[in-house]
Structure 1
Amino acid sequence: MFQLIWIIIVGAVLGIIARLILPGRQPIPWWLTIIFGILGAWLGNALAGWIGVRHTSGVDWIRHGLQVGCAIVIVALGSGLWTSFRRGRVSR
């Protein structure tokens, strides 16, 4: 249970950081920001494991940088898709 709470907290922090770094306004709800942050953390961890820097001594700055970078990309792409979906431009 505590791990799920921690995942949500990290997702919220990463999503908020991504939204602050991106220029302009991202018209996505707060719950989608958290989901995108969680996805960014997961993808960043996967990339860190793939390149061999997931577990290091001390603070894992490379892994955290990958997580933030992935969250930025996901928030940028996701906000565009969300806007298109809300306006009815996505074909079903």
Structure 2
Amino acid sequence: MEITGIISALFIGIAIGGLGRLVVPGRQHISLLMTMLVGMAAALVGTFAASLIGVADTAGIDWIELALQVGLAGAGVTALSRRPKVRH
């Protein structure tokens, strides 16, 4: 992978991870690095899933692929978000 591919993957990971955080209600206790990693993983898995169902290569913006990626990022952020423990 070339350096431009790595840099674009980082920016796409930030964007997808950020959108994933936006769709999850409430406050998430997850770092920017973890958000970026979740976003990159969601982008990869979402693209793979979109290619399996045949919607990855459409004319224009691939809205279904984007929805899959953001949904997966939201699920990843929710899974990794830790709740503060309350002591009584």
Q: TM-score, normalised by structure 1?
A: 0.82
Quote the Cα distance in structure 2 between the aligned partners of 1:8 and 1:71. Answer: 14
Unaligned runs of 5+ in 1: 88-92
Q: % of aligned pairs identical? A: 37
Shift of 1:25: 0.8
Q: Could you say which residue in structure 2 is the equivalent of 1:61?
A: 63
RMSD: 1.4
Secondary structure class of the residue paired with 2:75 = helix
Deviations along 1:42-77, one digit per CA (max 9) or x if unpaired, are 111011011011111121111111111111111111
Quote the Cα distance in structure 1 between the aligned partners of 2:35 and 2:42. Answer: 10
Q: With CA pairs under 8 Å and 6+ residues apart, which has the higher RCO, 1 or 2?
A: 2
Q: Which amino acid aligns with 1:52?
A: G
Quote the Cα distance in structure 2 between the aligned partners of 1:46 and 1:70. Answer: 12
Q: TM-score, normalised by structure 2?
A: 0.86
Q: Could you say which residue in structure 1 is the equivalent of 2:5?
A: 3
Any runs of at least 4 consecutive aligned residues in structure 1 with deviations exceeding 6 A, and if so which? none
Quote the Cα distance in structure 1 between the aligned partners of 2:21 and 2:65. Answer: 19
Shift of 1:10: 0.6
Deviations along 1:15-34, one digit per CA (max 9) or x if unpaired, are 11111221111101110000
Unaligned runs of 5+ in 2: none
Q: Could you say which residue in structure 1 is the equivalent of 2:30?
A: 28
Between Structure 1 and Structure 2, the one with more helix by share is 1
